[in-house]
Amino acid sequence: MNINGISKKYGDLVVLDNLSLKVKSGEVVVIVGPSGCGKSTLLRCINALEIIDDGEVALDGKAINPHDKKLSKVREKIGMVFQSYELFPHKTILQNLVLAPVRVKKMNRKEAEKEALHLLERVGLLSKKDNYPRQLSGGQKQRVAIVRALMMNPEILLMDEITAALDPEMVREVLEVVLDLAKEGRTMIIVTHELQFAKAAADRMVFIDGGRIIEEGEPKEFFENPKTERLKKFLHSFTYE
Amino acid sequence: MNVDVLISYFPRYAEAFLLTLRIGWLGILLSAAIGIVSAFTMYFKLPVLSRIAGAYVEIFRNTPLLVQLFFVYFGMPKLGFAISAETCGIVGIGLLGGSYMSEALRSSLNAVPASQAESAEALGMTHFQAFWLVIFPEALVLSVPAVVANVIFLLKETSVFSAISLMDLMFTAKDLIGLYYDTTEALFMLVVFYIIMLVPVSAAGSVLERKARHKMFGE
């Protein structure tokens, strides 16, 4: 995944300013930054939910063109998990999971269900397979949403503040699933406010402010020895003394 | 009230009942088809067509069925299209109902959050798949209460059919009153048959609404 000098404006407001980021296969990049700094917009630009004004996003060396008829083919390879889960309320958990594999990837339904049940078991939600999304807690819904993205076997997973809407005890159950995926070698770009989690999961930390990357580096250096004033200030805002 | 009179009226009412039911439901099917097409054109903001659909909805929601029926029944032959009273009734209910169905469905489509389409497309679905597999089914579930209300409303609206000499329930009642002056019996049977026609619809509608609500909101 290669993000090359992308810019995004809403009217006069510059949200992303000539931002570049390379993500290697198997790497977990965690993005942090103050509200409105462009982190979520960055993720949305990657799979063309937002159209960039300038620059290029490329996957496997191929540029993602939002106007391409085959955009949906590229999106198959980019999994995305949203803050508000976005499960399909009219379908059961199992139906939620097999819908895209069967309809988009033309996977055999039996096979898709087998895979779905296997993954549900892994996140401890096998017993919920016939429930509807509204019958699940937020943490459970988010775990299902992660599984739904995994069902497409994407090359890269984008996670957009996936714990921001959850109670603290549910945050943990979701983040454990993500940590598991990180250990498994999944390529991920994670936007989060959970710094402890970021420390545990990240191969590389990225701090964004004002639509630009201000600082990036190994998690240890990043948290213990921030070089820029802005990052120091940002990290400091999470501590109370 | 004379029971013998009621019994003697029964066959005529039963016949009228079946006619009303047939025309009413065929009209409702037509209204659903028109409503879906109209709502889609407006939802997708198709150029020109969405304007036509918008104008159609405004015209047919804001004129009485009786006026619409007169227009179709007496107007069409002048334009060279001979049309039977029965067809006219079906078309009338279809056009009136279409405008109501269109609004019910359009508002339900708009009630499905855009983020649902985004999450569908993020899974690799095309625009069309996201609409067909996610947005439209969700909107259908949301539209159940409004659609059930429309169906009941349209079945009752059939009572103006007598104006174009269709022998529906209302026509039969008026006719019998004119012939025999047994006003009480004739009106009583009229009420009974409307209740027979509508209570099952209303009951089935409640079940459907409860199921839909349960599915989406778990209440």
- Residue extents of the structural domains in chain B: 3-217
Could you tell me the CATH superfamily of domain B3-217?
Answer: MetI-like (1.10.3720.10)
pLDDT tens-digit map of A84-131: 999 999 999 999 999 999 999 999 999 999 999 999 999 999 999 999
Closest residue of A to B115, CA-based? A86
Least confident of A35-39, A214-218, B178-182, B201-205: A35-39
Average pLDDT for chain B: 93
CATH of the domain at A154: 3.40.50.300
Q: Does residue A124 form part of some domain?
A: yes
Q: Say how many domains are in chain A.
A: 1
Distance CA(A160)–CA(A168), nearest Å, equals: 17
Q: How far off is chain A from B117, nearest CA to CA, in Å?
A: 9
Q: Which DSSP state fits A209?
A: E
pLDDT tens-digit map of B92-133: 999 999 999 999 999 999 999 999 999 999 999 999 999 999
B120 touches chain A (CB under 8 A): yes
Closest residue of A to B218, CA-based? A134
What are B30's two structure tokens? 């037509």
B117 touches chain A (CB under 8 A): no
Q: Does residue A241 form part of some domain?
A: no
Domain range holding A80? 2-236
Q: What is the pLDDT of residue A68?
A: 84
Q: Does residue A116 form part of some domain?
A: yes
Q: Give the mutation candidate from A104, A136, A144 for the B interface (greatest B CB count, under 10 A).
A: A104
Q: Does residue A49 form part of some domain?
A: yes
Distance CA(A143)–CA(A93), nearest Å, equals: 11
CB within 8 Å: B218 and A135: yes
C-alpha distances out from residue B99 to A25, B57, B76, B148, B150, Å: 54, 5, 20, 15, 10
pLDDT tens-digit map of A68-79: 888 999 999 999
